[in-house]
Every structure is written in structure tokens, then in C-alpha cells.
Structure 1
Amino acid sequence: MLDDVLDAADPGAWTALDIAVRGWAWYAPRGLPDAAWVEDTGSGSPGGAGRGLFRSAPRRAASEHDEAAVESRLALALCHPDGRIREAALARAAARPALLPLVVVRAADWAAPVRDKARELLRTALDMGTAVSLAPLILRVGRRERGVYGVELLGEVLRRASSRGRLASLFVHSDRAVRRFAYRLACEESLLSPGRLARAAAWDDDVVVQTVCAEAALAAVREDGDGDYDEVLEPLLAARNPRARSAGVTALRRAGRAERALEFLGDRSAVVRACARYVVRQSGGEPLRRYRELCTEASDPALPPGAVIGLAECGERADAELLYPLLTHPVPAVRARAVAGLRALDVTDVVRLRPLLDDPAPAVVRETTAALLPSAVRLPEAWLTERLGAERPRHVRVAAFRLLDARGGLVRLRTAVGLLGDRDEKLRTWAARSAQAWYPAAVRADVEGRGLLERARGLTGGGC
């Protein structure tokens, strides 16, 4: 019956059941099993089966002895608001493995007698098999004030396994808290090779697992004077996630391969580029010179976009002259990074950036818009309004709206009112918010302003 009403494999289902039963007790206390029913269940008396939850259903007397029905009612008793009933139900649940998840919950109970009894049962029942299946719930309950006991007990049981094979299912578990716990345990007990840890850091999508495994893999190689850096560095340097790549790049210097850091100066991740610059500088190189060399060829299709923004990250305002030719580069990512680099250098040439608002690449238009927002008043209103036309690409229309909205005053209000009936739902919503937030301070007596406000009130339901 428990499987019919909740997902036994979902740790959140058991904690939700516990909360729901206590909330139910406020409205229907007679619907819960009472102390007499719990005692009768333990004594095996058939007379006690009719008490408690199904007291008003005599026709179901034949099913009262059904084990599934008893387990379901014991589950309710284990969540009962009365601590004495919870404690008594624990003794009856000892021989029922299906109720072990609720024993885990009760091991963090606020009532000491209930908590102590549940911990005693949990220590007796928890073996390698149940530890693996209950790990998500134990770790979830472990976040509670009194939940550390279950986490420590889980660690003890898993350490006794002392075998990577027994933990294999936890390394690929869908619950990231379980994977974090398993990998930390494996690192403490040295259950995984440095290469295996490096591969885990490279493919796992959780940043904590990436950090723990990468640091453990590199530490293991350092401790072993004859360790094979290739086994660790190659998976890290080829990883998709920047955290693992940055750890690998930083380790290049210790491994005596600082020259490879030059390959990562143009990485797509800022943290990896920063680590590469550090390694290059420590080995006597000059990252800025390398960036300038890469950005000199404005038409090179192989130019890494990361090298463009990298030039801005460590360059000077004079380096803007190297970025301007890249505004017409054939690769959209390079054009976008060139605009971002100019913004990072605090160099905004409205005349040169303005044509990029019509760029076919949305990323380029977004970066250009962000760069031009502080200078929005220098862009012609009519030119921007023309780009609000329905025939224009959506990213161009959004950019034009953002820039017109940044101008403020009646320009902002006219733009917002003109888009209140637009076919694009998001653009229409943004326009309504802009109109509602507009306040006519300096133009309160302006006829056009009053007229636009009245129109906006009518189109937005009087919200302006």
C-alpha cells in the first residue's frame, strides 16, 4: 500500500509524508492510529486491528490482518505528532524493512526517546545493501539539526565495504548529494586511482564533485614522486567544464609543462584564461604579447574568441585599435567578444558600434546593446524606432526597445505605448512594465505626455 501512494525511491516522498501526517493530525486526529492499536499490533491480537485508522470501516475487517495494511498504518504511527506513539511504533517496525526509511527520519527526531530508539534500530538494520539504497534519504535528513548521526553511520558502513565496486552505483547516482558523499569517501579512503578521479572531475556535471576529484587526483600525483601526470592532466585539460580545465592548467607548472598553458590563453572560460596567464607569467612569459600577436590577423578564421576578450582582460586602452578591425570578423563569436572587449576597456565608439545593431547574430547585438546603453541618447530616435518594425529580426527589435527605453522621458513612454499591442508576448510584457513604471516628472504639463499616459492606462487596464 505504501508503494501505491508514494515513490519509495524518492527521499523527498518520505520527508513529505512525515510533514503531511503531522499536518493532517490537526484536522483529523481520530483518523490516525492510536497507542492501543500500536500495542495490539505488536501483540498480534486481532481485536486491536480494528482500532485507529479504520475504526469506522467494519466491512474491511478481513483486510485488517493484511501485512500491507498494517505497514501502512504503522507508517502513519511513525509520523504521529505524539512522541509516545512514534516510539511505540518503532518497536513494531523493526521487523518490517519497508518502514526503514521512516526509521531514518525518526533518527533525527526532536524527542530524545524516539531519536535514541530509532538510532539503535538503524545501526542494527543498516548494512551495505540498505546503505546504498537509503543514502539519498540519510543525506537529506542529515541536513537537519540532529541528522548528523545518520550521515556518520552511513560513512561507517560504506567504509567497511572498502571496495570501489560496492560504491560504483553511488558514483553515478542521480542525486548530486550522494555523488558528493561517495567521492569524498573514496578520496579519504584512497579507493580510486588518480586517473579515475581526473576522469570523474572531467565528466561529472556537479561543481563540488569536479573540485573534490580534481584536487584529490592532483594531490595523489604530487604525493607519489613517480606519479604519471599524463594520466591526470589529459582528462582535466580536455574536460568540458571550466573548473576541471582550470585545475589542469594550473597543474601544468608543477608538472614542468608550462608551455602548454599558451594553448589555453584563448579558452572560452574566463577562469581558465586567468589560470593560463598565471602559469605563463610564472614561467617567464608575457600573455599580453601573445594576445596581441593572435589579434593582429583580423581576418584569421581560426582566431579563438577567447583570445579577443583575453586581450581586453589584461590589455590597455590602446589595445582597442586591435579590436576595432575584429568588429567585421567573419566569425560571430569573435565579433561579439570584440564588442565585449571594447566595453571592458571602457572604449565606446558609437559610430563604429552602431552598425552592429543590425548584425544577424543575436550574441553580437546583445553585446553591442550592453555597450551602447550608457550612450543611448547619442543614437537617433527615428533610426532606433525604425528597427522596432515587425519585419525586423526579434533580437534587433529587442535591442532597439532597450536603447529607446534607456533614453527615458517621452521617448521611453512613446516606445512602450507603441508596443503594447505587439504580437511578441515578451516584448509586449516588457513594454507594459515600462509604461507602468514611467513617471512624468519634468513633463507633467506636456500635452503629449498626458495623452500617452491615458492611452497606456487604457491598454494596460489602468495600471499606469
Structure 2
Amino acid sequence: MGGVSGSGAAAAVRLAEGATLREAVDTADPAAWIALDAGVREFTSGPDWLPGWERTVTDRALTEALTDGSDARPLTAEWLALGLCHRWGRIREAALERAAPRPELLPLMVVRCSDWAPPVRENARRLLTEVLDAESAVRLLPLILRIGRRGRGDFVTDLADRLLRAAPRDTLAPLYTDPDRTARRYAYLLAVEEGYLSPAELARAAGRDTDTVIQSRCADAALAGLAQGDASGQADGAYDDVLEPLLGARGAQARAAGVTALRRAGRSGRAAGFLGDRAGVVRACARYVLRQAGGDPLAWYRERCAVGGPALPAGAVSGLAECGERADAELLGALTSHEVVAVRARAVAGLRALDVTDVARMRELLDDPAPGVVREAALALLPSARLLDERWLMGRLAAERPRHVRVSAFRLLDAHEGLVRLRAAVALLDDPDDRLRYRARQSVGRWRPTADVPRGSAEVGELLDRARLLDPYAVHRLKWEAGIKV
């Protein structure tokens, strides 16, 4: 067994053999509780019970302990956890009443609120309503949201939502930095809807969070709050508190929102500092703001790229391609020799965006030491792949070549047809690089004879014989299609 089910089954066995709940289950991980629920059922429903489980707990003993108390063993939290996850509904139902006063078993009561057996489900919901409070809902929210995605799981999310909306605003504070992304999204959504955070607090949240959904949600809410302040005449001096965290954010969505807001703040000139941003969405917003203020972003890009130098931001090269013209290809072509790898790669990508391909120069860049540059050069050459010397490309498949050179060379050879493509693919059938070998085998499987392949070609027959181990029947069919005697 592996994955979630296997980890839950292992936890079930450890509980049955006497381990404590914290020893057997990662109680801070919502997935561990769900896995335990599945794991206990797995080991109480099949014939392959482990000897340790069979010695420690039986259905009869557990049933007696939970229904009439006749078993001498005390009902510990571990024993009740097994009962809450048991395959028999009457045992799960009996365990609920005993588990309700135990906070450490609240996660399994949450799980039981979506139980497929109506009596178990209704009892779990009734008991959870009595024992769950806002602080517990915060602690269990990642698990609650996971259960909420199940069928019959809406009750527990609705209950948590009611509790959290009625609680003091500071109750949500631990969720703003929770490792679980879904829990953070929910917390910020609730905070925005209920007005728990000020525009400045929302801007700081957008600036520090790594999730793009949270960045957009908090940035939009922060700027909406500023707009309301504008309407009421209370926004004077508030722009700095909101714009600075957004403009300095690591996330592109937050920076883009901040740059767009510069226009409304009357600070359009600052947008020029973001024309060379690393993110395309930020560059686009900066160009919009400057154009609305009468500026010329294209002139800025041309000037910066003409000066060049090690301080040239790679984003400025992309920006020139995004709003430039074919006449700007000369500037970009010169930058394909720039000392900074990112600038070279963006220059090659920019030429491709302008639909200008210097085949000779791109061919030289296939030997560039930087994988990103080689990758972009190969993409630029793909439409012209059949113009390249196949023997020159085949030489770059050699094992001593850097991996990024070999991958790009094979990609261009695979864009050929007929014998060229088959030769390249067969040459890599036994390559030590797993991914290259996989691609080569796929290429052989997709190969079909074309008009330029002579019928009955001996070379094709030899190449297909080398590929016979892949799929003898497919090779037999290909030989027949190529007119080779089989």
C-alpha cells in the first residue's frame, strides 16, 4: 500500500498496537485524519489483517466496549479514534457520544459530519454544533474546508462560517499566515467581506503572501477602500500606506495593482520605473499608465536597449518586443550577444515575438552555455528546422554535449520528416538520459514513411530493426507501410 491510504492504514495499526494518537497521526495535518479514516476501514473490512492488529483489537471487543461497556479495556482517545473510523455504522455512532467531550478527537467528528450513514451523520452534526467554537473552527479550518468539498460536506463549512463571522475580528489572525493556502484564501475573503482589515493592512497582506489569488483579492480590496476614502474626502495621505507595500511586493499581481493605482493617485511618472519589470503584467500596466499621462513607453525601451550595458534589466528587452515594431529587430539582435544570460534569452524571445528569425545567428546560439538561451533559440528555429544541416544537428546529440544542447538538437531533428527524424530517434533509444530516451521512443512510435523515403529502403529496415524491442507489432506495421519485406 502507498499514498494516503497506506499511511492511514499504518497509523491505524499503530493505534491498535498501543501507540498514542500523537505518535500514530500527524495531528496538525488535515490529510492525516482523512487518511486515518480510510485506513481503519481498510484494515477492519478485509481478510488481510496484520497479526498485531488481530491480537490487539477485534470487532467484537470494540463493539462491546462502545455499546455496553463490558470490555475491561478503558475507552482511551486512541480506542475511540478507531471506533469513529470503523466500517460498521453502529460502532461509529456509538463512538460519537463518548468522543464529543474530547477535544483531540474533534477532527474525526468533523469527518463524520459527511458520513454516508444518515444516523451517524446527523448525530455527528448535532454533537459538533454543541462542542465546536470559533477558536476550534480556526484550528480545524484546513480540515473543515477539505471535508466541505465532499458530498454532504456543506454542513461543517456553513457551521464554521457562522461561528467565524460572529467571532471577534482578531480570531481570524492565525489564519492569515496559515501554511494551508485554502485556509488563507478563506480567511482573507471573510476579512474583506466583513471589513476586518484596513486598506493598509490589506495592501501589506497582498505584498507578503505568495498566493496569486490572495494577492489579487487583497490588492483589489485595498484599492477599493482607497476609492471609498476618495469619495468621502478621507484618503489624503493614505495612498502611501497602500501603494508602497503593493509596489514593493514580490508577487506580480500585487505590483500590477499598485502600478495601475498610480494614475488615480496622480503619480503616473513613477510607472516608468516599472517598464522593465520582470513580470509582463506589471510592464503592461506601467505602459498603460504612462500612455494615459501622455508618455511614450516605446521611446523609453528603445533608449534603454540602445545603451545596453550590464545594468540593462531583462524586462526592458521583453518590453521592447511587446510594444515594438519589426524595425526594432536590429536592437534586439545586438542584445543576443549581451553578457547577461537573461538579457540574451529575452532578446531571442523578442525576435521570435516580432517574427524575425536570423537563422544563422540562432544556429550559433544553439551552442550557448546558458540553457535558457538555447531553449529560446530552438523555439525560434522550429519553423525553419528543415533548413538546418541534419548532420550538424546529429553531432549535437553526442553524449558529451551539454544536456540542454542535446535536448534542443533533438527537438529540431524531430521537426523533420522521413529518414532524418527516424535516424535521430533511433540514435537515442538507449540514451542514459531518461527523458530523452522517452521522447525518442515516442518519436519512433509516431513515425510514418513519407514521400521522400524510398520504398523498401534497407536503411529504414535496419533502423526499425533496432527499434523492434519497443513494440514488435508496431515495427512490423511500419515496415509494411515502408514497403519492406517482413
Q: TM-score, normalised by structure 2?
A: 0.83
CA distance in 1, matches of 2:393, 2:369: 16
The aligned counterpart of 2:242 is 232
The aligned counterpart of 1:412 is 421
The aligned counterpart of 2:139 is 133
The aligned counterpart of 1:109 is 115
Structure 1 residue 364: Cα displacement: 0.9
Alignment partner of 1:451 out of 434, 447, 462: 462
Indicate how the Cα distance of structure 1 residues 86 and 160 shifts in structure 2: closer, same or farther if over 3 A, else same.
same
The aligned counterpart of 1:272 is 282
Check if 1:5 corresponds to 2:5: no
Structure 1 residue 373: Cα displacement: 1.0
Aligned residue for 2:467, secondary structure, equals: helix
CA distance in 2, matches of 1:282, 1:349: 36
Alignment partner of 1:188 out of 189, 193, 196: 193
CA distance in 1, matches of 2:402, 2:111: 55
1:25 touches 1:32 (CA, 8 Å); kept in 2?
Answer: no
Aligned residue for 1:9, secondary structure, equals: coil
Indicate how the Cα distance of structure 1 residues 422 and 35 shifts in structure 2: closer, same or farther if over 3 A, else same.
closer
Deviations 1:263-297 (A, max 9, x none): 21221111111222222222232332332232233
Pairs within 5 Å for 1:14-163 = 14-27=33-46, 31=59, 37-41=65-69, 48-49=70-71, 61=72, 64-65=73-74, 67-68=75-76, 71-163=77-169
CA distance in 2, matches of 1:383, 1:175: 51
Indicate how the Cα distance of structure 1 residues 389 and 76 shifts in structure 2: closer, same or farther if over 3 A, else same.
closer
AA of the residue aligned to 1:206: D
The aligned counterpart of 1:430 is 439
CA distance in 2, matches of 1:231, 1:6: 44
AA of the residue aligned to 1:384: L
The aligned counterpart of 1:351 is 360
Structure 1 residue 369: Cα displacement: 0.2
Bigger mean CA deviation after superposition, 154-163 or 249-258: 154-163
CA distance in 2, matches of 1:417, 1:451: 10
CA distance in 1, matches of 2:439, 2:122: 57
The aligned counterpart of 2:255 is 245
2:271 touches 2:290 (CA, 8 Å); kept in 1?
Answer: yes
Q: Superposition RMSD on alpha carbons, in Å?
A: 2.5
Pairs within 5 Å for 1:204-243 = 204-225=209-230, 226-227=234-235, 228-243=238-253
Structure 1 residue 39: Cα displacement: 2.5
Number of residue-to-residue matches in the alignment: 439
1:440 touches 1:449 (CA, 8 Å); kept in 2?
Answer: no
The aligned counterpart of 1:57 is none
Indicate how the Cα distance of structure 1 residues 106 and 422 shifts in structure 2: closer, same or farther if over 3 A, else same.
closer
Check if 1:168 corresponds to 2:173: yes
Alignment partner of 2:332 out of 323, 326, 336: 323
2:100 touches 2:128 (CA, 8 Å); kept in 1?
Answer: no
Structure 1 residue 339: Cα displacement: 1.1
Bigger mean CA deviation after superposition, 334-343 or 388-397: 388-397
Structure 1 residue 84: Cα displacement: 4.3
The gaps in structure 2 that reach 5 residues or longer are 1-19, 50-57, 476-486
CA distance in 2, matches of 1:83, 1:171: 37
Structure 1 residue 242: Cα displacement: 0.8
Structure 1 residue 152: Cα displacement: 2.6
AA of the residue aligned to 1:325: A
CA distance in 1, matches of 2:175, 2:205: 12
Aligned residue for 1:108, secondary structure, equals: coil
Structure 1 residue 103: Cα displacement: 1.4
Indicate how the Cα distance of structure 1 residues 199 and 37 shifts in structure 2: closer, same or farther if over 3 A, else same.
same
2:417 touches 2:450 (CA, 8 Å); kept in 1?
Answer: no
Aligned residue for 2:68, secondary structure, equals: helix
The aligned counterpart of 1:379 is 388
The gaps in structure 1 that reach 5 residues or longer are 42-47, 50-60
The aligned counterpart of 2:345 is 336
Aligned identity (percent) is: 59
Structure 1 residue 183: Cα displacement: 1.8
CA distance in 2, matches of 1:332, 1:34: 66
Deviations 1:125-147 (A, max 9, x none): 11243223212211111112322
Aligned residue for 2:407, secondary structure, equals: helix
AA of the residue aligned to 1:102: L
Deviations 1:286-340 (A, max 9, x none): 332332232233x433222212222222223233233222222222211211111
1:128 touches 1:157 (CA, 8 Å); kept in 2?
Answer: yes
Deviations 1:141-160 (A, max 9, x none): 11123222222322333334
The aligned counterpart of 2:319 is 310
Structure 1 residue 450: Cα displacement: 1.0
The aligned counterpart of 1:368 is 377
Structure 1 residue 175: Cα displacement: 1.0
Aligned residue for 1:407, secondary structure, equals: coil
Aligned residue for 1:77, secondary structure, equals: helix
Indicate how the Cα distance of structure 1 residues 397 and 34 shifts in structure 2: closer, same or farther if over 3 A, else same.
closer
Structure 1 residue 179: Cα displacement: 1.3
Structure 1 residue 81: Cα displacement: 4.3
Structure 1 residue 425: Cα displacement: 4.0
The aligned counterpart of 1:403 is 412
CA distance in 2, matches of 1:147, 1:172: 25
CA distance in 2, matches of 1:101, 1:124: 15
Structure 1 residue 371: Cα displacement: 0.5
Indicate how the Cα distance of structure 1 residues 424 and 147 shifts in structure 2: closer, same or farther if over 3 A, else same.
closer
Structure 1 residue 245: Cα displacement: 0.9
AA of the residue aligned to 1:302: A
Q: TM-score, normalised by structure 1?
A: 0.86
CA distance in 1, matches of 2:443, 2:282: 39
CA distance in 2, matches of 1:417, 1:116: 63
Deviations 1:408-460 (A, max 9, x none): 221122222333344444334433333343333443411111112112336x5
